[in-house]
Amino acid sequence: MDRVTEGIPGPGSQEMSVSIDERRLGGLRWIVVNGPDREAFRALGEHVRAGLATLTEAWPVLARLRQHVSRRPAVTVPPPGSPRTARHSPQPSR
């Protein structure tokens, strides 16, 4: 079993506020992250960034997905609370 442990210093501090413990057992990978929520998710994102980038580059439908999201939506939904939304919302019965 391989094991990688890193500590990430907290903002403006030399103390470790987030720890990442990655283990492998054969082909299975699991990652344990400890620390405050925001810092933990940020550290986890940085930890897996390169692997996810490599994975998405090799994804066969990536070009089609990028083309799809680059087009303007066919239907424009008004933001909640706008006059158009209020006009089309069901009114409460009296």
Q: Determine, yes or no, domain membership for 93.
A: no
Q: Determine, yes or no, domain membership for 29.
A: yes
Q: Determine, yes or no, domain membership for 23.
A: yes
Instruction: For 20-74, write each residue's pLDDT tens digit.
Output: 999 998 899 899 999 999 999 999 999 999 999 998 888 889 888 888 889 877 7
Residue 2 has pLDDT above 70, yes or no: no
Distance, in Å, from the CA atom of 32 to the CA atom of 16, rounded to the nearest integer, reads 15
Cα atoms in the 13 Å half-sphere on the side-chain side of 42: 12
Cα atoms in the 13 Å half-sphere on the side-chain side of 55: 5
Domain that holds residue 6: 2-71
Q: Determine, yes or no, domain membership for 83.
A: no
Q: Determine, yes or no, domain membership for 36.
A: yes
Question: How many structural domains does the chain have?
Answer: 1
